[in-house]
A and B are shown apart, each in its own frame.
Chain A
Amino acid sequence: AQTVTQSQPEMSVQEAETVTLSCTYDTSESDYYLFWYKQPPSRQMILVIRQEAYKQQNATENRFSVNFQKAAKSFSLKISDSQLGDAAMYFCAYRSLYNNDMRFGAGTRLTVKP
């Protein structure tokens, strides 16, 4: 079974600075999807960004971008120009192309300092 590892339980960043959250995963599949989800204190989990494994180009969504290294099975999230509203738990997730199983990491709690 696929596993997702987030090695940073907590991270902090100064407002307006850049922070990178790490994620690695283990799989024997060649095609899959990767996601970063954000869970603010209100608890509703929302999608931040996603990446299809067959695409070499790194996904970007405004201030959020990923560094996808398929051979290394690494999928880090970069948040540029951090804002106070970015404070949340961030979860990395893996989804197989062939079934409905989505696996999550343990999460990284991001604190943004004013």
Chain B
Amino acid sequence: ETGVTQTPRHLVMGMTNKKSLKCEQHLGHNAMYWYKQSAKKPLELMFVYSLEERVENNSVPSRFSPECPNSSHLFLHLHTLQPEDSALYLCASSQDSASHSSGANVLTFGAGSRLTVL
């Protein structure tokens, strides 16, 4: 384990379901990320939270809704998803880029949540 924990590890849901992915980090980081990983494609940055404020939202459909209640927790709420949303969703954390510490720009990843939309 790297210090970033994602649950559930596997999720199967229908197109009309509502579910949430959870990410938790205990590394003292203040920036958290959601990435989507699909086969044979680059990781797609979905959302970035820095100091609990959303700073990046890369044209992600509104059926994905992030929530960052504090610097240690990040959620991705899912509703009315499509089969093409099936992928591995990776959470990561880091120090904010404004920090000039030596590890500021290194992302620590969780193991991912494998999502299948039927």
The residues of A with any CB-CB pair to B shorter than 8 Å are 4, 9, 33, 35, 37, 42-47, 50, 91, 95-107
Contacts and interface: CB of A to CB of B under 8 A. Distances in A.
B55 A102 contact: no
B24 to A, nearest CB: 15
A-B pairs, top 8 by smallest CB distance, nearest first, are A45-B109, A104-B43, A33-B105, A44-B111, A106-B42, A100-B48, A104-B42, A100-B97
A36 to B, nearest CB: 12
B74 interface: no
Contacts of B33: 100, 102
A99 B55 contact: yes
B42 A105 contact: yes
A101 B109 contact: no
20 contacts: A4-B42, A43-B88, A44-B1, A47-B107, A47-B108, A50-B106, A95-B105, A97-B97, A99-B55, A99-B97, A100-B31, A100-B33, A100-B94, A100-B97, A101-B56, A102-B105, A104-B35, A104-B43, A105-B42, A106-B40
A101 B94 CA distance: 11
Interface of B: 1-2, 31, 33, 35, 40-43, 45, 48, 50, 55-56, 88, 90, 92, 94, 96-97, 105-112
Nearest to A6: B42
Nearest to A5: B42
Contact of A101 (B48, B106, B108): B48
B54 to A, nearest CB: 11
B96 A44 contact: no
A91 B35 CA distance: 14
A7 B49 CA distance: 31
A66 B70 CA distance: 37
